[in-house]
Structure 1
Amino acid sequence: MKSYISRLTNFFAAILIALISMPLLAGLTYANTGFSALVIEPDTGRILYEYNSNEARYPASLTKVMTLYMIFDALKHGQVNLNTSIVFSQKAVSQQPSKLGAKLGETIPLELAIKILVVKSANDVSVAVAEKLSGSEDAFVIQMNNMAKKLGLQQTNFTNSHGLPSLKQLSTAHDMAILASRIQKDFPKYFHNFSVTSFVYNDKVTETHNRVMRDYYGATGMKTGYIRLSGFNLITTATRSNKRIIGVVFGGKTAKDRDEFMTLILDKSFEVLLNSRNKKMRIDIAVNPDIIVVHPSVQAQIDAQKATQKKQVKTAITPPIKKQVKTAITPPTKNQVQPPKASSQSSAKYSIQVGSFKEYKNAQAQSHSAIKILGKGRARVASLQNGYHRALIDTFNQQSAANACSKLKAKDVECLVIRQ
């Protein structure tokens, strides 16, 4: 009985400390809220590498990929054109850096605004564009979230157009990979903007700080992101020998660590795609804790908070799910804590994907084959617009889905947990 109560106490202490710690951590230098990574082949839906890709993270300026999606959508439908003037309001000019530094009432053409969002990730430009497209940033954010749902970004929530700190601004590596895939597919006319390396404003040239996009062999573009809560984030799209992949990394301790890890998983993914005949093969790369380790001064403050907050924990009504929650500042493990989610995990439904196929019947057969291994679940096939069909198994909660995936991977069956 004492052991049970102790586990309950530790469980809720972890949650309480994680939540209370977040305002404190916003003023510190290190990423403390988790590491995630994913590499996919968007043309088939194949997963080449995965690490905590469905864990909620702070997207930071990866948010601007959705802002740019909204811009390209407005261009496509004739709502604006590349010469449309973007006016800087008081709200726009008052944004925190990174920013262009435009003056109140100043205007720039939309074409330049797009380049600035990609290269400099300017928050004042993001707000000015949002106000132009929707009348206000608040209205724009509503439209962003509606579009996110339409695109299938099931674990994403936006509260602003730029990605500056907000505890409710959440996404996952999985959702960001979907967004990158859709913006590449839906707007081929404008996607080249993600490979822009510089822009000129007031006779000054500003160069990109996206070193992977600039230097990686085969890179076609995409976006960086950083706030102290998130660590260093990155999306990269790349093509070699007509094989396209998308990589996402959340939570690097430094830009260098993030870039090196992205380069590693992209290189290994291309090796598998171009050289292996095993269509189910994935790369297996351990995450080095050194690239995301918490600085001792941060750990000391968290430890101090644990000591003072533990006494305030109330007795729980329901027992914790085993290993589901740990403190939000430890090096990543397979069961690392998530930042606060937009909805309760206990009531959420999950599916597992066990493959992606050109033929519907093959996807259907794969689902039923996986069910035979698991002894439970409901087979389903999701047909994609690119002609591929995803083999899915439904009726799981988060923990049982993770357990099922572990069982399938032990049998060399491709598997990914997906929130419905």
Structure 2
Amino acid sequence: MIKNFYLSLFAVLISALGFSQTEEINPPDYIKTVTFKSRTSSQGQLPILRLGESFNLEFDVLTTDEPDFYYTIEHYNYDWTRSNLVKMEFMDGFDNYRIVNYQNSFNAYQLYSHYDLQIPNEQTRALTKSGNYIISIYNENQEVVFTRKFMMYKEQVGVGVSIKRSRDVKFIDRKQSVDIVINSGALILNNPKERIKTLIIQNNNLHTSIKNIKPQYTIGKELIYKYVKETAFWASNEFRFFETKDVRGANVGVQFIDLKDIYNSYLFIEGPRANRPYTYNPDINGNFLITAIDTDDVDIEADYTNVHFALQYPELKDGSGIYIYGNFNNYALTNENRLTFDKTENLYQAIVKLKQGFYNYKYVVVDRNGQLDEGRISGNFWQTENNYKVLVYYRDLGARFDELIGYGEANSVNISN
């Protein structure tokens, strides 16, 4: 109780100082496999949940001392600035409690503890407002270990989403455009062109999402978005993937396995695909799934492997860097997933410790100015199968926060001109 008191006091002081956590904090090296699970999905992906739906935030701690962790939840506006709601307005119950559900790994070379936080629980009984949220995980020293964004929507408007080839002739073979129709139904929207805000997300990646697009025009109760450029995404290419569900034998994408302190999985050497013809290769759009053979509970029985990535690509000497990313690392660009060039092997290489499972990933380039280029290595092809999600936010006259009132989803497998 004393720890809870100090954590609560710490949170109040942060709020009083105007602290606004708009960017997610990535976990340190000893925390792996941060995963949201809900009734509708067990894959590691961006959590977009119905208001009132329960979910679990799970993660592994690769230490043997079973440290204590605490959590707080805050409500945010559309632009990820802290909303004006106080905690009792968006939460039934309390947070700042210790995560009590954890188990130690079993029969694995890599020792770890698996933590599982369920929301709602006895202390945090419900989240009562739709919108954006950030959950923060603290250690016993009141230090933020990592944060994760999630969204809760209340289905008050209909959201129709369709995927088209780019209407810009210059990019017709390399981009995909998202058309949106929002139907307000029985809901009366005041000044929708100013008060309705949309967020368009490709493959659950918030970092490349398109924001602040206003409706072009209205027809009755419908808001129409049919832009040429503003809602167009680079089509990219299908994600690369590998599977390590069996650490005793090579599987999909794995050339061979070697056991040292822990298992080491060596992937096949890969090359760029930008100048190759497009080939359909089914993926799970950047997500990952923890899976292991001959186990009863993958949460604690799945082992960790050092996954060795190798990319045959000319050395970049202009200050650019090559990274591996996907939902497994929250599309983060960190030193851990940056490849280094081996002059002896004439290859880009990286070693990333990952739990057994099926992983989608992509090689991307970031230039010296921090600009991301997803297609430089993979290419951009209009035929690529991508997932698109559209979130609709609304702030009524006199309201103090942005509600999330609609959610729509579409896949480019049904793309049309």
Normalising by structure 1, report the TM-score. Answer: 0.25
Pick the structure with more strand per residue: 2
TM-score by length of 2: 0.25
Q: Whose helix fraction is larger, Structure 1's or Structure 2's?
A: 1
